[in-house]
Amino acid sequence: MSWDFFVPVSVGDLVKTGGVNQYVVQDVVSPKQLPSHLNSFKAALRSQGPLCILEHFDTGYSVLQHCNTVDLSVKEDTLELLIQVVSGLSVSLPSLLLSTTLSAADRKEQLNAVKMSVFLLCKLTESLESDSYRQSIVTAHGKAGKKGKASGEGLLQWDSERETVLQALVQLLQLDIRSLWSLSLVEEEFISCVTCCCYKLLENPTISHVKSKPTRDAIIHLLGVLIKKYNHLLGASVKVIQLLQHFEQLSSVCAQAVSVWSTEYGVRAIIGEVIREIGQKSSAELAREGSGVKAFSTFLSELSGLVPELMIPNISVLITHLEGESHSMRVAVCEVLGEILVRVLCGDGLDESGKADRDRFFDTLQEHLHDVHSHVRARVLQVYTRIVNSKALPLCRYSEVMGLAVGRLMDKSINAVKSAIQLLAAFIAHNPYSCKLSSADLKKPLEKETAKLAELKEKVEGKAPVAVIRASELWAAMEPELLVTARAELEPTSEGEKEQQQEEEREEVDETEVAEDDRATAVQIAQFLRVNKYRNAVRLCIRAHCHFPESEMFSSLSTLTPETLMETLALLFKGPDADTSELSQNPPPTPQKEGEKEGEGEDSELKKQEMLVQYLRDTASFALQVERAIAVINTMLYWKTTSVVQEAVQFCVTVCEFSVADSLSGVRKMLPLVWSRDASIKDAVVQAYRRLYLNPQGDTTRAKAQTLVDSLSELMVDASLGTIQCLEEIVQEFFGNGSSLQSTVVQVLWERSTGKRETSSLYKRAAVLLLGMAARAEREVVLSNLDTLCSVALGEKVTEDFLLARDTVITICSITDHVRQSKGAPFRLPQDHQLFTCLTQAIAEGVVMEDPYWQSFMEQAVRLLYFLAESPDQLCSRLLQRSARLLLDQIAENEEINKDAGQSQGGSQDSNDQSEQVNCACLAQLLALCGCVAFWQVSHLERSVSTELRRRRRETEEREEKEKGPSSKSKQAANESTVEEELGLIGASAEDTEAELIRKICETELMAEENLLSAFLPLLVRVCSSPGHYSHPQLTTAACLALSQYMMISPSVCEEHIRLLFTVLERSSLPVVRGNAIIALGDLTVRFPNILEPWTHNLYARLSDEVPSVRQTAVTVLTQLVLKDVLKVKGQVSEVAVLLIDPQPHIASLALNFFNELAGKDNAIYNLLPDIISRLSDPERGMSKEDFNTIMKQLFSYITKERQTESLVEKLCQRFRTAKTERQWCDLATSLSLLSMCERGLKRLQECWECYSDKLTEPGVYQPLLSITAKLRRGAKPQLKTQVEEFEKRLTAVHTRGLENVESPEVEEENQKEGGSGVTAAHTPLPARGRGRSKRGRAKPSVSSRGDDSFVTPRTTRKSKKPVVTFSSDEEEDEEDAVMTESETPKVTTPIARTSRRARLRN
């Protein structure tokens, strides 16, 4: 073979004239002739094998040239032939490559075959891939017809063929075909031909889909072979960066590819090359659009998850991006650090370098918990969550990271808050401290163990280790000083020094006295040296020589010099073996080894105790941080963001499972969310309670049922009524779903409620209430055992536990139609049923008892009588008679006892007072019963009776329609529209008739003389109108509440006693009475709006009450009335505005909620603002400037429309003309400055210049107006800025001129015309502030201290005057607390239209 095939850069280069011995295509076959040439190619392949490509290359090349015009079948046949050629080469080449006899010509022939076949196969593959992608776009847009369908079939076939092509190439290139080239240097064009095909396939948008996984894996492995064997490392790294920049969807594919190349093919350098390329990207380059920063970040995150250990050597290159502007790159780097910390730098087996890297990475992550971008903060929190879940966080960092996570709960980003909650939940679920976290429970053990540690430390310090020091070391330390002492003793002295020395010797004669033998003297000298008595040692040594001249120890002192003396002392102190001798200071009495063992034991115990104390401290600190987090997260349960609420719910479940202190508070707080309109929130709460309480653990069904009942009972103990109502929804759902535990749970509940199983009274009551919740789903649960409930809870011992009786009545009430909202015939029991006998007896007997829980039982019992009994009015009438008779009997008995006691004690007054006090309590209970009966009687008429009348009317109408027959139906069809109208009118007329009947009964029959209710009304009026005579708090409270319930009966009763009720509201000294009166008047306003409308200002007056509970009740009631459009919103709302600065936070929040809701109504706050400003700036109110500014700032925040701002500017400016004091001017100016001023507002302000220009001399007016110009100047257009500057100059000029002429006669004359001197006009004194709550701006004095004269109301316009209600006892005592006079009754103003023709009561 005389030619060589060179892989061209472009396909068209092969038809051009080549170089010497370079292959050139001789004949490009036309498309029509291609099928015949392909058949020849196919025959040659069968006969000659893969080398036939050398002769038929032109055929394949022709297909490439005409690729856009030839049929799909031609391209498919060509592809199949080329695959067979490449596969044939893969089979034949291995034996040839191993052969040593292969000639150069044969090698060239094989090389040309490889190049030609691979070139044609890759180029045809690229062409088919382009066609496939183009066809997929057309098909996706729905523009393909029949031809498109045919092409679509080819598209599906290509998807399957693509993998075959890649496998054939992999099989060929895996062989060591490099030896076919000269010097084994494979030309770059050949490698580029294959790699370009691979990268072309990777650009397919579906390559990352699951269905493309085989193709994707084949491409990765083919590129891996090229990188490992054919030096494609640098090219691959550059191409990966390019793919990431232009194809974002390839980030995960590239990460997988790089991971495979570095692990399976051992090319680890590829990671370094790619990361280095990414690391060298500048912040400015990454900030550009289309830079692929998102793909880079995803690639890094996924690559770190696949090969985290290979990322560590290159992490320093990426760290630089943490300081860059791209938040996506910061997120990616943080996630890389997280993966490394979780999977590589974890555990206890790290060396010092690993620990240093781990600490550095953790420090970096902690810094980015405070990143400026919210997305980074959220993702770092998620990284920490993964670290904690993997238990890779060192214990020493728990407290610090926990504190940072709690701080992130206040983040402005919702995602960061959610991630912080998830991290805190992970901390609790994987905490290394304890399964139960409670700082209160940990306090005592910590104190105990800390005290024990202190004792151990004292003990160890007392037994300090013995200091064993060598004698030679001690001698070296004392030798200099001892030598000085020896020389001083041996030197001659003067006469005076001799005398002094003799005196000292006489004093120390006892200590330096020579012992009996030389050894004892030597020991004594050594002791002197040991205790630093050097002079005594020297003197004793000199004397010893005199006493023992023959002793070896002192023989050297025959010549007495300092040197010989020091030698002798050294010998005596160190001993003959100076190197080994040791001296022990304070030697222990026990042997040394035993002492060492004991010391080691004490040290070990001390270390254990220190570790225990540190563990308890860490646990207590962790528990405190958890409790802090709970307090914050509990407030998030009512956020508007659904996802945050769901995370908060899950967190509450987690902390409850770990018995964290106060965890139950969050579980209870989220319970009302079962009523949420958001289905996802409701489902999250239901699932949470099901997980906590309705999926118990146990070996048997009964054990599970007992666990479930225990947990629910614990939740209900001390729960509020609202909590119980919410819990009903969840329990009802449990019993309605038909759980397998249902029957067993009911059985356990009955055992507890009936006393068969020993339990406390609290849990017994909880069991009764849970039975009631179950009865809502299945009535028979309670109805079948009604007699049992009556005998157990309402039997003879009912008076011993009225709370159990009350809860039993609530449970029985769950089977009534009112609770179950049944639409069929009413379910009621006969009057002689055992239940009603027990109830009436318990109520009547309780009237003459003093039980604090009787009234709550009575209210529920009367409610049940009207819900469940036939003719409940008759039952209650007999009940009232019986109760009154029992009370009279008790009074008679007390009188007889008092008579006897009076006769024996001479008429003592104490017993009379005592009996009277007892009677007041019983009388209060009787009046409460009367009021309750009156209320439920009206409710019974308007709900039960009215509903029954409508039901019977509908049944009658249906029965009549059935009796009319088909003839009437045909007539009805003929006049359908007319008849429908008539039927509508008839229906409306019938409803009106029924409503009128109910109203007539309430008006005439309920308060008729023969009705027992009317007999108690004079008594109620008497008690309420004579608080001086009836001063018992319980009696007064019960009477006022009962009177308000009587007033619900009819308009006439309400109108007759409305003055008395408002007198009680104004003048009662009991906060509870005033609070009850406000609630009652709110209900009366809904029922009789026209009667209550003239008294509206009296209701608003209670917003200034001195007692916080009364103010809270007032603002709650008025909020409901105003927002439901029962009360007209007027300027009196200023009293609610004052509550925005109430000292009580919960009252201020209620007021804020009122205005938030009111802002939702059309222009409500906008219309009220001028009046509110006038009322609050009234000098008589005496509100401070700071409080006024705070209120106005909140109210003006609701004004957002330019038109409203413009109109308010004009209105406020006009108010300057009527304002009389400086303070009012200042308040108006301040209000103007709080508006969000716009260009139109400035124009209106300039137009109203005359209104306020004469007030600009006051700084309080000038400064706020000047601040308006400062706000407008920010970001204003040039034209507007010019106007602002002109207006500012004008303001300043008038203000300055006014200050210069403030003392001029013209100004004084002008001020005198206005009614006062210039000084007075300029400095009007503010009124004296009242005591009490003056800083809230309260205009009225204390309620309890107010006299009759202070309560003045408008006169009435009614011609006929109602007689003033007075009693003989009042006249005798000349009391001043009677009802208002007729002249104090307010005038009737414009009536309020009723929303419904029939009066309705609240349930």
pLDDT score recorded for residue 904: 59
Structure tokens of 1211? Answer: 């209105």
**Closest to 925 (Cα-Cα) out of 856, 866, 873, 864:** 856
- Per DSSP, the three-state class of 1063 is helix
User: Residues of 195-224 as b/e, b for ≥16 C-beta within 10 angstroms?
Assistant: bebbbbbbebeebbeeebeebbebbbbbbb
Q: What is the pLDDT of residue 1304?
A: 39
Question: CA–CA separation, 1300 vs 570, rounded Å?
Answer: 104
Distance (Å, rounded) from C-alpha 768 to C-alpha 712? 12
**Rounded to whole angstroms, what are the CA distances from 476 to 480, 482, 574, 652?**
8, 10, 11, 72
The pLDDT of residue 453: 80
Distance CA 61, CA 876 (A): 108
Largest CA distance in the chain: 163
Residue ranges of the chain whose pLDDT lies below 70: 1-2, 17-19, 138-158, 289-291, 434-441, 462-469, 492-516, 576-602, 738-739, 817-824, 900-918, 965-992, 1275, 1298-1403
Count how many Cα atoms sit within 13 Å of the Cα of residue 577 in the half-sphere of its side chain: 4
Q: What angle do CA 1023, 1024, 1025 make, to 5 degrees?
A: 95
Q: Is 81 helix (H, G, I), strand (E, B) or coil?
A: helix
Per-residue model confidence as pLDDT tens digits over 521-543 = 888 888 888 888 888 888 888 88
In our burial notation (b when 16+ CB lie closer than 10 A, e otherwise), range 35-44 reads eebbeebbeb
The first and second tokens of residue 228, run together, are 């490992």
Residue 470 backbone phi and psi in degrees, to 5 = -65, 145
The pair of structure tokens assigned to 77 is 């046949």
Number of other CB atoms surrounding residue 233 within 10 Å:
16
Helix%, strand%, coil% for the chain, nearest 5: 75, 0, 25
CA-wise closest residue to 1076 among 1102, 1106, 1097 = 1102
Is the four-CA dihedral 1109, 1112, 1116, 1117 of positive or negative sign? positive
What's the rounded Cα separation, in Å, for the pair 288 and 296?
13
**How many angstroms separate the CA atoms of 119 and 126, rounded?**
11
Task: Write out the two tokens for 101.
Answer: 């006899």
Angle at the Cα of 313 (from 310 to 319), degrees rounded to 5? 110
Q: Which residues of 1382-1393 are buried (b: 16+ CB within 10 A; e: fewer)?
A: eebbbeeeeebe
Q: Indicate the residue type of 1295.
A: H
DSSP state of 784: T
Q: Which residues contact 99 (CB under 8 A, 6 or more apart)?
A: none
* Residue whose structure tokens are 């459009």: 1125
Give the phi and the psi of residue 186 in degrees, each rounded to 5. -75, 130
Cα of 241 vs its chain's centroid, Å:
42
Q: Six-digit token pair at 448? A: 């105990």
Check residue 745 and report its DSSP letter: H
Q: Cα(1234)–Cα(1222) distance, rounded to whole angstroms?
A: 19
SS3 state at 1303: coil
Determine the pLDDT at residue 1039. 92
Nearest to 1065 by CA among 1090, 1086, 1087, 1085: 1085
In the numeric block, which tokens belong to residue 1345? 């201290």
In the numeric block, which tokens belong to residue 566?
């020091």
Q: Could you give the CA distance from residue 1211 to residue 1235 in angstroms, rounded to a whole number? A: 13
Tokens of 1350: 């202070």
Single pTM value for the model: 0.66
pLDDT at 462: 62
pLDDT value for 524: 84
Which of 1397, 345, 1399 shows the shortest CA–CA distance to 939? 1399
In order, the DSSP letters of 1160-1179 are: TSTTHHHHHHHHHHHHHT-T
For residues 844 and 849, what is the distance between their CA atoms, to the nearest angstrom?
9
Q: How far apart are CA 1023 and CA 1007, in angstroms?
A: 19
- Tell the residue number behind the tokens 């356990």, with chain if given: 748
Q: What is the rounded distance in angstroms from the CA atom of residue 744 to the CA atom of residue 774? A: 12
Helix (H) or strand (E) holding 469: strand 468-470
Alpha helices in 471-533 (DSSP H): 471-490, 495-507, 518-530
The count of other CB atoms within 10 Å of the CB of residue 1261 is 25
How far apart, in whole angstroms, are the C-alpha atoms of residue 262 and residue 306?
Answer: 11
Asked if 813 and 783 touch (Cβ cutoff 8 Å), the reply is no
Contact 726, 779 (CB under 8 A): no
DSSP 230: S
Contact 93, 175 (CB under 8 A): yes
Contacts of 1286 (CB under 8 A, 6+ apart): none
> What angle do helix axes 213-229 and 146-173 make, rounded to 10 degrees?
30
Write down the pLDDT at residue 888: 87
**Nearest alpha carbon to residue 112 among 173, 70, 36, 55:** 55
Note the Cα 1256 to chain centre separation in Å: 50
Q: Which residue has the tokens 């508006």?
A: 1235
Helix (H, G, I), strand (E, B) or coil at 950: helix
Residue in the structure block whose two tokens are 């847009």: 141
